[in-house]
């Protein structure tokens, strides 16, 4: 039951957002939640470390079960609550295959984005190099182009076809973050269309990062 | 059916190994397979690119269904062949939750190992960007990660699999990383629980059947990780 669940989360973090979308889609509104600040280092607080020794968000408890990995939480929720809310993994084998393929490619997209956005946080000053950063940005560009291509080839409005699926739960937050960071709508029309169309989906509207609502994004990605 | 499946793979690649273990566990021996060479850049051949535009291995097809992401292939196989072979997703919610948690921590585990190996062998890191301090930092991160997995196995007790008493998808996806760690010289004295887990799993038929062929040809372990 939602009342037995607790989510510790941070605004704008795609892994946190994935779990929140999944909870909404599986009709598990009413879960306990606590918004924490990455900037204030609250993800390293004792409260979080007690649940997630990695000191990362999301941290998620379902009764006495702990699933901090966002993919793990989403899959677990789909499995446990298969009969309620949206069916996130289709029964049909071809549809299932495409959903699973895109869902896990989503991890590659997330990693490449993190390599760029977290560069200064991850790489000590003496190791930072313009050439390395440039290379990471080029790698991200190639990845984003691949997703634009996926959407061009997949009619239906969602990442895996005509139904909302686990692929959208996992990947939409990353796409939204790309545009938040200034990705060009002109250069990536399919991604832009996808971004705009899903904004009004109830689960996404309900979980839109609170800190994004009143502040402008950045233009970091405008040239890629 | 296995006859409708094709796997393009490379020896010693944990993602490829995961899919092969899953195929064995689901009694799908007899699938079509082709061993390709990373060194000869065969993962970038047209044959691979036609199925996997990323030019990566594993590349896997079941009929028209393409599943190149190893975790996707493993989930797909368990789901499509639920009633045959080993049950890879336990029924009990507690065990299932732990399986999901460890499976996905397995991605982090694999990345941390990879960074060290790539750095050590100078793969993917251009010469001008290599820093001794980075290698040191990455090794420390791997040690922290290893201690975490040691503690996980410690809590579950001897003879246990990653999610409890049964072999699950968590073992399918994580064992290849553990196998690789010991291949590269990880010390079982320093990491006894991981050593025990390695010894338990290496005897499993699916693991034996899919053991990297070049490791059989050259059984001597490397010493890259012996001091960490």
Read off the pLDDT of residues B38-81 as tens digits, 9 standing for 90 and up: 999 999 999 999 999 999 999 999 999 999 999 999 999 999 99
Element (H, E) at A72: helix A70-80
Domain B2-81 belongs to what topology?
A: Glutaredoxin (3.40.30)
| Domain stops at, among A81, A113, A133 | A81
For residue B92, what pLDDT is reported? 94
Range of A119's domain? 93-212
Secondary structure of residue A33 in the 3-state scheme: strand
Q: Do A72 and B107 touch (CB under 8 A)?
A: no
**Where would I find the beta strands (DSSP E) of B39-113?**
59-62, 65-66
**pLDDT at position A81 over 90:** yes
Say if A103 falls within a structural domain: yes
Query: Residue with structure tokens 């036609």?
Result: B50
Does residue A88 belong to any structural domain of this protein? no
Residues 6 or more apart in contact with residue A213 via CB below 8 angstroms: none
pLDDT tens digits along A37-46: 999 999 999 9
pLDDT at B132: 87
Q: Where are the domains of chain B?
A: 2-81, 93-217
Put simply, the answer to whether B80 touches A105 (Cβ < 8 Å) is: no
Q: Are residues A119 and A185 in the same domain?
A: yes
Average pLDDT over chain A, rounded to an integer: 96
d(CA B96, CA B159) in angstroms, rounded, equals 18
Find the closest chain B residue to A142 by CA distance.
B54
Are A19 and A56 in the same domain?
yes
Which tokens hold the place of A37? 């600040």
Query: CB distance from B170 to chain A under 8 Å?
Result: no
**Min Cα separation B101/chain A (Å):** 5
Q: What are the tokens at A209?
A: 């990062």
The CA distance from B194 to B147, in Å, is 10
Residue A184 within any structural domain of the chain:
yes
- B66 vs A89, A101, A129: nearest CB: A101
Number of C-beta neighbours around residue A134 at 10 A: 10
pLDDT of res. B127: 76
Question: Which residue does chain A place closest to B94, by CA atoms?
Answer: A65
Total domains present in chain A = 2
Q: How confident is the model at residue B139 (pLDDT cuts 50, 70, 90)?
A: very high
- Label residue B202 by pLDDT band (50, 70, 90): very high
Give me the residues of A, 43-72, that contact B with CB < 8 A: 53-54, 62, 64-72
Q: Report pLDDT for B119.
A: 86
Whether A198 and A101 map to the same domain: the answer is yes
Rounded to an integer, the average pLDDT of A75-90 is 97
Q: Does residue A203 share a domain with residue A118?
A: yes
Asked whether residue A206 falls in the same domain as residue A119, the answer is yes
CB contact under 8 A, B133 and A126: yes
Q: Give CA separation, B127 vs A136, A190, B121, B123, B124, in Å.
A: 15, 37, 11, 10, 9
With a cut of 90, say whether residue A182 has pLDDT above it: yes
Torsion of CA A155, A160, A165, A169, to 10 degrees: -100
What's the mean pLDDT in A24-52? 97
Looking at the structure, do residues A59 and A111 belong to the same domain, yes or no? no
Backbone angles phi, psi at B175, to 5 degrees: -55, -45
The pLDDT, as a whole number, for residue B82 is 96
Handedness of CA A56, A59, A65, A67 (dihedral sign): negative
Crossing angle for the helix pair A130-153 and A166-180, to the nearest 10 degrees: 130
Residue B122, pLDDT above cutoff 90: no
Same topology for domains B2-81 and B93-217, yes or no?
A: no
Indicate yes or no: CB of A97 within 8 angstroms of CB of B98. Answer: no
Domain at A20, CATH number: 3.40.30.10
Mutating which of B5, B102, B104, B169 best tests the A interface, going by the most A Cβ atoms within 10 A? B104
Predicted confidence at residue B118, as pLDDT, reads 87
d(CA A78, CA A86): 9
Per-residue model confidence (pLDDT) at position A74? 98
CB contact under 8 A, A104 and B72: yes
Q: How confident is the model at residue B120 (pLDDT cuts 50, 70, 90)?
A: confident
What's the mean pLDDT in A22-37? 98
Q: Which residue is closest to A74 within chain B, CA to CA? A: B100
Q: Do B104 and A132 touch (CB under 8 A)?
A: no
Whether A101 and A184 map to the same domain: the answer is yes
Would you say residue A179 has pLDDT above 90?
Answer: yes
Q: What is the pTM of this model?
A: 0.97
Preceding amide of B60 cis, omega within 30 = no
CB atoms within 10 A of CB A12: 17
A160, A147 contact by CB (below 8 A): no
- CATH number for the domain spanning A207: value is 1.20.1050.10
Give the architecture (CATH level 2) of B93-217: Up-down Bundle (1.20)
Domain-terminating residue out of A81, A111, A132: A81
Kindly give, in sequence order, each residue whose CB lies less than 8 Å from that of residue A175, ignoring residues fewer than 6 positions away.
A147, A191, A194, A195
- Asked if B88 and B172 touch (Cβ cutoff 8 Å), the reply is yes
> Do A102 and A67 fall into the same domain?
no
pLDDT exceeds 80 at position B94: yes
Residue-averaged pLDDT of chain B: 96
Does B104 touch chain A if contact means CB atoms closer than 8 Å? Answer: yes
Q: What percentage of chain A carries pLDDT values higher than 70?
A: 100
Quick one: average pLDDT of B128-134? 84
Chain B (70-89) residues lying within 8 Å, Cβ to Cβ, of chain A: 70-73, 75-76, 79-80, 89
Beta strand pairing call for A32-36 and A5-10: parallel
Structure tokens, B118: 């790539």
Please state the rounded mean pLDDT for residues B138-160: 96
In this model, does residue B123 exceed pLDDT 90?
no
CA distance A63 to B90: 18
Give residue for tokens 């010894």.
B199
Residue A100 shares a structural domain with residue A74:
no
Q: Is A87 a domain residue?
A: no
Distance CA A102, CA A160 (A): 7
Interval B106-118 mean pLDDT: 96
Is the residue at A86 inside a domain?
A: no
Residue length of chain B:
228
Task: Answer yes or no: is A58 within a domain.
Answer: yes
A201 with A104, same domain: the answer is: yes
> Same domain for A115 and A194?
yes
The answer to whether residue B128 scores a pLDDT higher than 80 is no
């Amino acid at each position: 039951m939602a009342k037995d669940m607790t989510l510790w989360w941070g605004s704008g973090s795609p892994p946190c957002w994935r779990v929140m979308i999944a909870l909404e889609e599986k009709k598990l509104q009413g879960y306990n939640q606590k918004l924490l600040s990455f900037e204030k280092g609250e993800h390293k607080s004792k409260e979080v470390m007690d649940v997630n020794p990695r000191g990362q968000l999301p941290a998620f408890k379902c009764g006495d079960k702990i699933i901090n990995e966002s993919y793990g939480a989403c899959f677990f929720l789909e499995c446990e609550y298969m009969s309620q809310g949206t069916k996130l993994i289709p029964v049909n084998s071809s549809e299932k295959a495409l959903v699973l393929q895109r869902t896990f490619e989503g991890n590659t997209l997330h990693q490449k984005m993190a390599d760029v956005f977290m560069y200064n946080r991850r790489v000590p000053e003496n190791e930072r190099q313009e050439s390395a950063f440039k290379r990471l940005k080029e790698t991200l560009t190639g990845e984003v182009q691949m997703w634009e291509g996926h959407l061009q080839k997949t009619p239906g409005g969602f990442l895996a076809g005509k139904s909302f699926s686990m692929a959208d739960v996992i990947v939409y937050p990353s796409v939204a973050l790309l545009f938040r960071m200034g990705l060009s709508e002109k250069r990536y029309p399919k991604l832009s269309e996808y971004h705009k169309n899903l904004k009004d989906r109830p689960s996404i509207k309900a979980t839109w990062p609170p800190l994004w609502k009143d502040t402008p994004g950045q233009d970091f990605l405008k040239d890629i | 059916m296995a006859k409708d499946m094709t796997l393009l793979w490379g020896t010693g690649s944990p993602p490829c190994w995961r899919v092969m273990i899953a195929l064995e566990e689901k009694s799908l021996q007899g699938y079509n397979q082709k061993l390709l060479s990373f060194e000869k850049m065969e993962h970038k051949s047209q044959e691979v690119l036609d199925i996997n535009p990323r030019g990566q291995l594993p590349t896997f097809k079941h009929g028209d269904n393409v599943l190149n992401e190893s975790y996707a292939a493993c989930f797909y196989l368990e789901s499509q062949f639920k009633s045959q072979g080993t049950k890879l997703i336990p029924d009990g919610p507690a065990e299932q939750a732990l399986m999901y948690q460890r499976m996905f921590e397995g991605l982090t585990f694999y990345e941390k190992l990879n960074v060290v190996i790539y750095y050590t062998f100078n793969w993917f890191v251009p010469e001008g960007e290599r820093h001794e301090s980075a290698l040191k930092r990455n090794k420390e991160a791997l040690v922290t990660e290893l201690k975490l997995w040691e503690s996980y196995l410690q809590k579950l007790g001897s003879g246990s699999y990653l999610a409890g008493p049964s072999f699950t998808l968590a073992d399918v996806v994580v064992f290849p990383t553990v196998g690789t760690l010991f291949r590269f010289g990880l010390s079982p004295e320093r990491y006894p629980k991981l050593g025990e887990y390695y010894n338990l799993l290496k005897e499993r038929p699916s693991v034996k059947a899919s053991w990297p062929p070049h490791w059989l040809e050259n059984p001597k372990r490397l010493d890259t990780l012996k001091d960490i």
